[in-house]
Amino acid sequence: MNALSEARIRHAETPTTIKKLSDGQGLVLLLHPNGSKYWRFNYRFNKKQKTLAIGKYPDISLKEARAERELLRKSLREGQDPALKNQADEDMEKRTTFFQVAKEWWEAEATRWTPKHARTVWHSLEVDVLPEIGNEDITLIETPRLLLVIKAVEARDVNDTAIRVLQRIKCVFNYAIQTGLIKINPALPLTGVIRRKKEVHRLALPQSELPRFFQKLGEMQMAEYLRIAMKLQIIWFVRPNELRFAKWEEINFDRREWHIPAEKMKMRRPHIVPLSNWAIELLLELKEITGRSPYLFFGAWDSMKPISENTISYIMARMGYKGKAVPHGFRSLATDVLNENGFDADIVERQLAHVEANKIRRAYHRTEYLDKRHEMMEWYSNWIRQFDSKG
């Protein structure tokens, strides 16, 4: 009884996984890896183990949490289930709603995400989930109710969004299980209910068009560093945003590699792009132009900022390829050329930085086949260079 103190709570080490500190008689404090602390009350009623959320520390002090515990224990002595007794109490109801648990889960996970991704996840819940079930008691939400939520998203013809929303709902319920609020995840039976639509590939430049493409690229009036950007986009076949945010500090000339940090990658894992001889030549030429900026390709009005997200697309449109080819399509071009010329599909996939389904192999994703990827990128760079009259 009363095993905790304000000092012990304030000085408790931040754990690597959720940790419980017990004050006695059912009152516990959950410590999260992001530094957040939440009160829970554990009790048994009708031979069933139950848990109630009391609130967040220090919003709810130790003294206030203990007072709440005594009120809940009084309900038990009177033969009443505290959860049912307090359903009419608006404050208590808010503490056990899907919204409150979703907020706790999001706060715990957000420290592992980029700020942009964290905002995206919460916005997704705000738009598609919370208006439907945000105020409902999370312990009473069942599978058919969740199916209605997901189907409403699918009805907008955004199947991929519906799949992501379902995944986030699953995570919230998993968190509720981990923190003792529920025993079963009602979202799990919905796995596979929404079918992913067949992927529509981005517009890719046909191989036969490459000679004409490089001719146009050489003739068009533009800043030379943008011409280099286009060539590197082709021979590196990275996602356009990865090229856009490339920094000089990520280029290792000694190892002949560009090391892209995880936070810049779509799959949130670090990635390596081997640098061919031609890529090195282009980078050294580029260094003379943009070396004063942290970015390889800086914006037109501010050398401390990257080029805009539409710069490369705009250049291709001016070259006459609007509606015919886009920068992302160079990934498809590289895939076709490399597969047609006998390169191992696994090596191609690693260089494309596609997701690895096998979790064990995923840990080696960044450096797997690196020597062979160096050889492949040198071959592909030379294959592309034959179409560039200046190359």
Q: What is the domain-level CATH number for residue 41?
A: 3.30.160.390
pLDDT of residue 364: 46
Q: Which of 87, 113, 142 is the last residue in one of the domains? A: 87
If asked whether residues 130 and 223 sit together in one domain, one would say no
User: What are φ and ψ of residue 54, in 5° steps?
Assistant: -105, -35
Of 56, 202, 354, 372, the catalytic one is 354
pLDDT of residue 201: 54
Of 112, 266, 318, 322, the catalytic one is 266
If asked whether residues 72 and 123 sit together in one domain, one would say no
Domain assignment present for 327: yes
Q: Which of 144, 164, 190 is the last residue in one of the domains? A: 190
Alpha-carbon span 313 to 229, nearest angstrom: 12
Q: Which of 64, 87, 110 is the last residue in one of the domains? A: 87
Domain assignment present for 303: yes
The total of structural domains in the chain comes to 3
If asked whether residues 75 and 139 sit together in one domain, one would say no
pLDDT of residue 340: 86
Question: Is 331 one of the catalytic residues?
Answer: yes
Share of the chain above pLDDT 70, in %: 91
Alpha-carbon span 29 to 40, nearest angstrom: 6
pLDDT of residue 353: 85
Contact (Cβ atoms closer than 8 angstroms) between residue 380 and residue 279: no
If asked whether residues 75 and 124 sit together in one domain, one would say no
Contact (Cβ atoms closer than 8 angstroms) between residue 296 and residue 147: no
Q: Which is nearest to 307 in space by CA: 365, 223, 220, 375? A: 223
- Whole-structure pTM value: 0.51
Q: Which residues form the domain of 376?
A: 207-385
Q: Which is nearest to 108 in space by CA: 183, 181, 180, 37? A: 37
If asked whether residues 256 and 214 sit together in one domain, one would say yes
Low-confidence stretches of the chain (pLDDT beneath 70): 85-95, 197-202, 355-367, 391
Question: Is 43 one of the catalytic residues?
Answer: no
Domain assignment present for 93: no
Contact (Cβ atoms closer than 8 angstroms) between residue 389 and residue 218: yes
CATH number at residue 299: 1.10.443.10
If asked whether residues 241 and 375 sit together in one domain, one would say yes
Of 328, 350, 373, 385, the catalytic one is 328
pLDDT of residue 391: 59
Domain assignment present for 372: yes
Burial environment of residue 372 by CB neighbours within 10 A (0 to 12, 13 to 18, 19 or more): middle
pLDDT of residue 250: 96
Question: Is 364 one of the catalytic residues?
Answer: yes
Of 37, 239, 264, 271, the catalytic one is 239
Of 331, 350, 365, 385, the catalytic one is 331
pLDDT of residue 53: 85
Share of the chain above pLDDT 90, in %: 54
Number of neighbouring beta carbons within 10 Å of residue 25: 16
- ω into 82 cis (within 30 of 0): no
If asked whether residues 157 and 259 sit together in one domain, one would say no
Sheet strand arrangement including 251-252 = 251-252, 257-260, 271-274
Burial environment of residue 148 by CB neighbours within 10 A (0 to 12, 13 to 18, 19 or more): exposed
Contact (Cβ atoms closer than 8 angstroms) between residue 352 and residue 265: no
The per-residue pLDDT for range 160-191, each reduced to its tens digit, is 888 889 989 999 999 999 888 899 999 999 98
The CA–CA distances, whole Å, from 72 to 41, 51, 56, 63 equal 8, 11, 17, 14
Number of neighbouring beta carbons within 10 Å of residue 138: 21
The per-residue pLDDT for range 28-83, each reduced to its tens digit, is 999 988 788 999 999 988 888 888 888 889 889 999 999 999 989 988 888 888 87
pLDDT of residue 93: 42
If asked whether residues 252 and 356 sit together in one domain, one would say yes
Domain assignment present for 343: yes
If asked whether residues 270 and 364 sit together in one domain, one would say yes
If asked whether residues 253 and 366 sit together in one domain, one would say yes
pLDDT of residue 131: 87
Question: Is 266 one of the catalytic residues?
Answer: yes
If asked whether residues 236 and 334 sit together in one domain, one would say yes
If asked whether residues 217 and 302 sit together in one domain, one would say yes
> Taking all residues of the chain, what is their mean pLDDT, rounded to a whole number?
87
